[in-house]
């Protein structure tokens, strides 16, 4: 099943529903700042589980107390698709109360 790229307007509309997420260089991005390195590492593990479940993997960076995601859809030529927003929403579901960086 082909995944279609979203238009700029569709991306902007969906981003309005995901505070803290932005579009940078054709990728959805988000950074979380947590209270400790342990909490950041735990969030990475939770995100990895979601990515495996969705079979959709982002670039994921772990800092001392930060976790950064950068995602687009390779099968759509590196464009942003609904798959990316699906992943973003799932991550938001497990990271309530985490402050955007």
Which CATH architecture group holds 26-98?
Answer: 2-Layer Sandwich (3.30)
pLDDT band for position 101 (50/70/90)? Answer: very low
Predicted local confidence at residue 95, as pLDDT: 87
Q: What is the pLDDT of residues 62-99, one digit of tens each?
A: 999 999 999 999 999 999 999 999 999 999 999 856 54
Predicted local confidence at residue 27, as pLDDT: 98
Q: What is the pLDDT of residues 34-59, one digit of tens each?
A: 999 999 999 999 999 999 999 999 99
Q: Is 15 exposed, middle or buried (0-12, 13-18, 19+ CB in 10 A)?
A: middle
State both tokens at 10. 């569709």
Q: What is the pLDDT of residues 13-23, one digit of tens each?
A: 999 999 999 99
Q: What is the pTM of this model?
A: 0.91
Predicted local confidence at residue 31, as pLDDT: 96
Return the domain boundaries, the chain. Answer: 26-98
Question: Hey, is 56 helix, strand or coil?
Answer: coil
């Amino acid at each position: 099943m082909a995944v279609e790229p979203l238009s700029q307007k569709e991306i902007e509309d969906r981003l309005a529903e995901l505070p803290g997420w932005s579009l940078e260089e054709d990728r959805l991005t988000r950074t979380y700042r947590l209270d400790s390195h342990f909490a950041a590492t735990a969030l990475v593990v939770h995100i990895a589980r979601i990515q495996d479940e969705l079979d959709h993997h982002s670039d994921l960076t772990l800092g001392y107390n930060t976790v950064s995601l950068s995602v687009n859809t390779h099968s759509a030529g590196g464009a942003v698709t609904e798959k990316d927003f699906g992943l973003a929403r799932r991550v938001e579901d497990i990271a309530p109360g985490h402050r955007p960086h």
